[in-house]
Structure 1
Amino acid sequence: MTKKEMVLRMAADNNGIILTKQLTEVGIYRSVLKDLEDEGKLTKVQHGVYVTKDGYADDFFLLQHRFPSGIYSHETALYLLGYSDRTPIRITMTFPQGTSSKRVKDEDIRPILISKNLDVGKTALYRNGNEIIVYEIERTLVDLIKPRYEADMEQLIPALKRYARNKNDINKLFEYAKLFGVEQKMHDYMGVLL
């Protein structure tokens, strides 16, 4: 099997997407990507990301690739998890404290910077066959009711109602609420809905 065939096979096994870092890991030079691009077998969609004619890399996957330390959160997570039908006007991602927010803001992402508990509730979600990192619904609901965040109530209240109806893990929800200091506020919201 030639290097080009290996790259195309790797892309086919990854929903038509190949990343330059994947090639580096297996010792294939990036020049192979350029050759395949010149032959019309791959298209560069952004730095380090190529797709085949049959491949598809959505905007959420591409943003995650550009900002790998970011986790989709807040209203964006509600949408990705199916708890809101409203496509986010502005993407919200949570980053570790110290991340330079200028580059993030230049991409029209609303950055939330936190110093601890970044990985609490972090999970992988698959969209169009591509993995993205998002907070699970319990963490998302807790983040939305934190005092420093002004949540869109038109999205929060229906999401809380849907969560209550779906018989999700209420214990986990309250564990997270306690961890983030919003236990009473969560009791107030959920007390009305349960």
Structure 2
Amino acid sequence: MSKYDQIRDIIKNNNGYLFISDGENAGISRTYLLQYVRDNNLEHVSKGVYVTEDTWPDMLYVIQRSNPKIIFNDETALFLNRLMEREYTEINVSVPSGHNGSRLRERGVVVHQEKDGIYGLGVCELETNYRNKVKAYNTERCICDLIRNRSTYEVQTFQTAIKSYMKKKNKDLSLMLSYAEKLKVKEEVMKYVEVLT
């Protein structure tokens, strides 16, 4: 198999994306990879990331691949969980305590550092609008965070998310309450559960 065929396979396996790091991990030199990029008119979307002409850039996927420790949270997670009617206004992520988020902040990403025991609580894999998989908090964790930080949300966003969650057939209230206990918002979450069920 030629190096160009290898690169094509990498792009195919990544839904139209070429991550230079993937090529290098496969033993292909950066010079050769960049020659392929030029020869095939790949579009530069981020440092070390290119897409084919027929691929729409998916910034959530690009950010996730470039920063494996991030977990999408707040409005971004609400959107990915289909608990919001509109798209998020800014990208929100959680990182472990002590993680340097300066590069993410430079890109306009809102970074929340979380302590051990809270970071990763309720993480799941969700599809973006472009069918790429990213890590985000699940619906139960989203609702806990929503109630915990309700003053930072628009009233409409808050109400829509709560109502959308309560209408879900596969909601897990006991799981949500276990998260609420760890996040120290069990009483507040219980009030909403009692009113809406």
Q: Please, what TM-score do these two structures have when normalized by structure 1?
A: 0.90
Q: Tell me by how many angstroms 1:90 deviates.
A: 1.8
Tell which deviates more after alignment, 15-24 or 73-82. 15-24
State the distance in 1 between where 2:53 and 2:143 align. Answer: 38
What CA deviation, in whole Å up to 9, does each residue of 1:88-107 have, x standing for no partner?
22221111112334433322
% identical aligned pairs: 27
Offset of 1:114 from its aligned partner?
A: 1.0
Matched, 1:78 2:81: no
Query: Could you say what secondary structure the match of 2:152 adopts?
Result: coil
> 1:26-65 alignment to 2 at 5 Å?
26-65=26-65
Q: Is the 8 A contact 2:74 2:142 kept in 1?
A: yes
SS in 1 for 2:92: strand
Q: Does 1:172 align with 2:175?
A: yes
Deviation of residue 148 (structure 1)? 8.6
AA in 2 matched with 1:45: V
User: Structure 2, unaligned stretches of length 5 or more?
Assistant: none
How far does residue 18 in structure 1 lie from its aligned partner after superposition? 1.9
Q: How does 1:95-110 map to 2 (within 5 A)?
A: 95-110=95-110
**CA pair 41-24 structure 1, distance change in 2 beyond 3 A:** same
Q: Distance in 1 between matches of 2:157 and 2:10?
A: 40
Q: Which amino acid aligns with 1:100?
A: N
Look up the SS of the partner of 1:86 in the other structure. Answer: coil
Cα distance in 2 for residues equivalent to 1:180 and 1:144: 11
Which of 187, 190, 193 lines up with 2:190 in the alignment? 187
- Counterpart of 2:145, as a letter, is D
Which residue in 1 is equivalent to 2:88?
A: 88
How many equivalent pairs are there? 194
Summarize deviations over 1:149-194 as a string: whole Å, max 9, x none.
Answer: 6333321222111111113111111111112111110011111110
In structure 2, the residue matched to 1:121 is: 122
Question: What CA RMSD, in Å, does the superposition of the two structures yield over aligned residues?
Answer: 1.9
Residues 42 and 51, structure 1, Cα contact 8 Å, conserved in 2: yes
1:54 aligns to what SS in structure 2?
Answer: coil
Contact 2:10 2:23 in 1 (8 A): no
1:133 and 2:135 aligned: yes
